């Protein structure tokens, strides 16, 4: 009887250790200390939006080259996710012309009001604003040719969910660009490998990657399309 009790107790201890090891492995952080279930993100910017209009930003970010790579040409439909002040929205709107459309998407109502005022002031009739959600850009289905998340991805609280919802809005062959910088998620950056993993999980494949954005080589530019 004593022997059987000792065997039973040993079995319970082994079972508990197995569960503990599996639990620890499932919650182990990925590269950069980020959990695969829910990584850290930076607090979305809610300050003065005019800071994004600094002189020379076009040249520093090589925005025309970025638009060339994303296939932003006259007549195309573009989504600027995390539009902020509309800095990229305005440049994309001028590139696509009257036959094109640019959706300025942001989860901050103040950003939407700012871009609305700006498009009226600058007479950009091809710009449409959308108040998005953390997990959904709320874009119309099968409309978008090109997407850019410019220095925004590290603020996205539900990145995989957002990218999955985005897929419904994309036309065949649409290009999705993400420009960000390496970081731990909460320092206004997110590691390139994390973005690659999350995009793959959401159903995208990497087409191209660049490091020409900004001369310090700290920023990366990833271009994705939907997996077939």
Tens of pLDDT, residue by residue, the chain (228 residues): 444 444 344 443 334 434 343 333 433 344 433 434 567 775 665 566 666 666 777 888 899 999 999 999 999 999 999 999 999 999 999 999 999 999 999 999 999 999 999 999 999 999 999 999 999 999 999 999 999 999 999 999 999 999 999 999 999 999 999 999 988 766 678 999 999 999 999 999 999 999 988 666 679 999 999 997
What does residue 38 show for φ and ψ, rounded to 5 degrees?
-150, 105
Q: Closest Cα partner for 198 from 162, 169, 150? A: 162
Distance CA 57, CA 215 (A): 12
DSSP single-letter state for residue 184? B
Q: In this structure, what token pair is assigned to residue 80?
A: 């600027």
Q: Is 0.85 topped by the overall pTM?
A: no
Instruction: Identify the residue whose tokens are 């959904």.
Output: 136
Q: In this structure, what token pair is assigned to residue 10?
A: 């040993």
Q: In this structure, what token pair is assigned to residue 7?
A: 């065997």
């Amino acid at each position: 009887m004593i022997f059987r009790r000792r065997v039973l107790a040993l079995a319970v201890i082994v079972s508990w250790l197995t569960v503990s090891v599996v639990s620890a492995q499932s919650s182990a952080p990925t590269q950069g200390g980020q959990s695969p279930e829910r990584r850290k993100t930076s607090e979305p910017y809610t300050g003065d939006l005019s800071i994004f209009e600094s002189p020379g930003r076009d040249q520093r970010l090589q925005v025309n080259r970025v638009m060339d790579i994303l296939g932003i040409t006259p007549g195309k439909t573009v989504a600027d996710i995390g539009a902020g002040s509309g800095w990229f929205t305005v440049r994309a709107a001028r590139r696509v012309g009257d036959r094109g459309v640019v959706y300025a998407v942001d989860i901050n109502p103040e950003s939407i009001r700012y871009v609305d005022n700006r498009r009226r002031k600058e007479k950009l009739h091809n710009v449409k604003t959308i108040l998005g959600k953390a997990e959904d850009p709320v874009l119309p289905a099968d409309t978008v040719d090109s997407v850019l998340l410019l220095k925004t991805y590290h603020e996205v609280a539900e990145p995989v969910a957002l990218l999955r919802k985005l897929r419904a809005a994309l036309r065949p062959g649409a290009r999705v660009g993400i420009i960000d910088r390496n970081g731990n998620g909460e320092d206004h950056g997110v590691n390139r490998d994390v973005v690659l993993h999350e995009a793959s999980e959401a159903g995208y494949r990497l087409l191209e990657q660049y490091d020409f954005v900004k001369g310090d080589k700290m920023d990366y530019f990833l271009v994705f399309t939907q997996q077939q």
